[in-house]
Structure 1
């Protein structure tokens, strides 16, 4: 167990409020953008407010955007969600385009933040081989091949598919 997992919340992966089973409910309630009117690190935030804030608010009517000017402080955005979660992100010296992208990320997230996810299943003797994937028992030469490749043959023990059987029956008829 790492030290980080001692201090992070833990929980199960669930859909908040059965979201998407009837209609979509945006999880981000409000965003508070705190910035300084004269600080150099707030230049990108001020540009976003002047040029893109009205369009952002028009495109996202379910999210309330508050502006809070503060003197001589670095800019931050605080997003508050339906599950009473809060995410805080510094915007110091970020250009306007990057701020638009990060606000989109905060707007579409569910507000759980960093969480150690638990599983509903548990075993006392976990597998030491790791999880199975379709590529587990494949030869390593396939990693550098380009497909389709004639040298790569199917395994001889593989039974023909139903489609191949029907194709052979059709060819035998004619």
Structure 2
């Protein structure tokens, strides 16, 4: 058992019922930016509000954005979700770009607390073979080819057919034999 699992709850994946069937419903209902108008640790939040907030709100009409100026307090982002979840995050001494990334991250979350997800399946002896991909058993020399290649339309390990072997033995071209 890892040290992290002692403090993080575990559970199964919970998804909003049929979200995405018909139309997608963003789970973030509203976000509140609390910041100070004068302190320096709110500078990134004020720059985000001045330069990026209008464009962000136009791109995300399903999420309501509230601004709450407070005197002599650290900047905070509060996100409220449709499932009743509420998350609080400090934006203290962050740049404008970092604030934008955190606001975008909390906009895309579902509002469930961070947890270690359980699987419905369990194996005492997990596979050691690794993952299979369509490129697993392909020859490595194909990495250096320039495409399009006509020779790739046929399998590389193809043995000559019986009719090709006979035509080579008797010296008769294959086109003449097929016209008979």
Q: TM-score, normalised by structure 1?
A: 0.69
Once residues 101 and 107 of structure 1 are traced to their aligned partners in structure 2, the CA distance between those partners, rounded to angstroms, is 10
Look up the match of 1:32.
Answer: 32
1:46-125 correspondence to structure 2 within 5 Å? 46-125=46-125
List alignment gaps of at least 5 residues for structure 1: 149-153, 159-171
What secondary structure, in the 3-state scheme, does the structure 1 residue paired with 2:17 have?
A: helix
What secondary structure, in the 3-state scheme, does the structure 2 residue paired with 1:16 have?
A: coil
Once residues 134 and 53 of structure 2 are traced to their aligned partners in structure 1, the CA distance between those partners, rounded to angstroms, is 47
Query: Could you give the per-residue CA deviations for residues 81-119 of structure 1, whole angstroms, max 9, x where no partner exists?
Result: 122333333222222233223212211222235321111
Q: TM-score, normalised by structure 2?
A: 0.67
Range with bigger deviation, 71-80 or 48-57: 48-57
CA distance 1:122–1:90, change in 2 (3 Å): same
Once residues 157 and 15 of structure 2 are traced to their aligned partners in structure 1, the CA distance between those partners, rounded to angstroms, is 45
Offset, 1:147? 4.5
What secondary structure, in the 3-state scheme, does the structure 2 residue paired with 1:88 have?
A: strand
Higher Rg of the two aligned structures: 2
Range with bigger deviation, 81-90 or 37-46: 81-90
Aligned residues between the structures: 157
CA distance 1:137–1:78, change in 2 (3 Å): same
Range with bigger deviation, 55-64 or 19-28: 55-64
Once residues 131 and 101 of structure 2 are traced to their aligned partners in structure 1, the CA distance between those partners, rounded to angstroms, is 35
Look up the match of 1:10.
Answer: 10
List alignment gaps of at least 5 residues for structure 2: 147-154, 160-177
